[in-house]
């Protein structure tokens, strides 16, 4: 039986990540993700490994999960903040602990880097994601306001 492998995202994984990101669009508004658009962004992120961490979960040679984490510092939080920017597990593999493994990996990496908190935001209406993050130990600590540029 195959085991889920959690590892750094590589360029060869981007086709699978595109599929996952378009699944994410089913619950979060956004433009269609294409290989061209994601490969440009991924290339830029790879140049700044101290800021960006992109990880995939692979099962039977297929990308079934993806997490993208941003690490940033502020004057107020001396240790710094890790922000889970995207997390998606393919529908067929949800409920199997893959998402929790990716979140735990992000927490461990933040601690290893000396950061003192990890945050995540979800769509206000995405109660499934909010429940998942609460089960992972997150609580509603802040209100994040956003503004989309057209």
Mean pLDDT by 10 residues, the chain (150 residues): 88 95 75 86 96 97 97 88 96 96 97 96 90 96 82
Cβ atoms 42, 9 nearer than 8 A: yes
- 5-135: in CATH 3.40.630.30: yes
CA–CA separation, 136 vs 98, rounded Å? Answer: 12
Nearest to 133 by CA among 109, 112, 102: 102
pTM of the model: 0.91
For the chain, the C-alpha Rg in angstroms (whole number) is: 15
Give the domain ranges of the chain. Answer: 5-135
pLDDT single digits (tens) 56-72: 999 999 999 999 999 99
Q: Residue 31 has what DSSP assignment? A: P
pLDDT single digits (tens) 91-103: 999 999 999 999 9
């Amino acid at each position: 039986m195959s085991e889920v492998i959690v590892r750094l995202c590589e360029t060869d994984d981007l086709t699978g990540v595109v599929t996952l990101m378009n699944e994410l669009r089913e619950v979060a508004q956004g433009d269609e993700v294409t290989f061209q658009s994601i490969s440009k962004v991924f290339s830029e992120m790879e140049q700044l490994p101290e800021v960006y961490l992109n990880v995939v979960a692979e099962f039977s040679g297929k990308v079934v999960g993806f997490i993208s984490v941003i690490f940033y510092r502020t004057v107020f939080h001396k240790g710094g903040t890790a922000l889970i920017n995207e997390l998606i597990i393919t529908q067929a593999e949800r409920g199997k602990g893959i998402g929790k493994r990716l979140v735990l990996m992000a927490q461990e990496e933040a601690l290893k880097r000396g950061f003192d908190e990890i945050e995540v935001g979800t769509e206000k209406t995405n109660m499934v994601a909010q429940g998942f993050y609460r089960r992972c130990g997150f609580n509603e600590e802040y209100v994040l306001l956003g503004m989309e540029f057209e």
